Amino acid sequence: MNVLVTGGAGFIGSHVAQALLDGGHHVVVLDSMDPYYDTEIKAENRSCCERTAAHRYYFVEGSITDADLVDRVFSSYGIEFVFHQAAQAGVRTSVENPHKPHEINTTGLLTLLEAAADHDVVRFVNASSSSVYGHDEYLPYDEAHPTRPRSPYGVTKLTAEHYCRVFTEIHGLPTVSLRYFTVYGPRMRPNMAISNFTSRCLSGEPPVIYGDGQQSRDFTYVDDVVSANLALLETDAADGEVMNVGSSGSITIDELAAHVVSVTGADVEPVYDDPRAADARHTHADVSKARRLIGYEPTTDIRDGVSRFVEWYADNREWYEPLVRAS
């Protein structure tokens, strides 16, 4: 199958692309190579895919907001299936500049949906976020939980979900939106808590916790996110739906920092700084809907996943750490 992965040079997108290549598919990656974080990580992501199957991997540099380019990609490569992973990420970044995430996450998404409908793709899978929930009225979040985003980023992700639903209802384009809960793993974005904690501990420095450390997160290992995406190649049971993709567990940031300290063997104690604006207090996913519709089953506990990440970090420290430290 000819599959388009937008944002396929990014963290999650490159893992999805690599798994598709492993499955024998032809993969087209459309990515703007935006320097939101160091593009050397994105270059490594591309290299991983090329090493997997260079003869079935096609990279196109450009923006999903460029309607002419998007249409040419669909036409030239005969796109049959779309995994839309491209986004301007960053809750706090979106508070400082809401226009850029709106342009990419909303206008860009709409551009892709129009092209997908015009070219009769089999299915359009949209990467959404737990940020759509915002305030936790109860935990764990199920998909019926009220959606009251606390950041412009969350607003753009919720808007994208509604556009997907509308294109399914009006144009008959099969769409699914997957609400990711804080994804982590090898080659992850360098400005995330787990990568920062690991970097500092391996360098003998204390992890920095923003807030009181009692905020909690449902961290999802990237392999589990990939499995949820690939399941949608095999079933149409979820068309028109939104689904949580999480670990179904949670951990406080204090506990996370203590585990990273333990795994790295660092002789340090966390230090605390002011909380960050617009961050959710707690996230925790109810994944029963995804389990029922696509057979999703998270396999990696946060403590096991962090241990695996620390091992990967140590093996790739020479090239990855300078990019984390610079973030």
Active site residues: 153
Neighbours of 31 (CB within 10 A): 26
If we measure between CA atoms, which residue out of 223, 229, 187 comes closest to residue 84? 229
DSSP string, 73-113: HHHHHT--EEEE------HHHHHH-SHHHIIIIIIIHHHHH
Contact 125, 173 (CB under 8 A): no
- For residues 257 and 115, what is the distance between their CA atoms, to the nearest angstrom? 44
From the centroid of its chain, how far is CA 158? 15
Given 3-state DSSP classes, what are the helix, strand and coil percentages for the chain, each rounded to the nearest 5? 45, 15, 35
8 A C-beta contact, residue 318 and residue 174: no
Contact between 6 and 13 (Cβ < 8 Å): yes
Tell me the C-alpha distance between 138 and 258, whole Å.
Answer: 26
Q: How far apart are the first and last CA of the chain?
A: 37
Contact (Cβ atoms closer than 8 angstroms) between residue 284 and residue 325: no
Host H or E run for residue 8: none
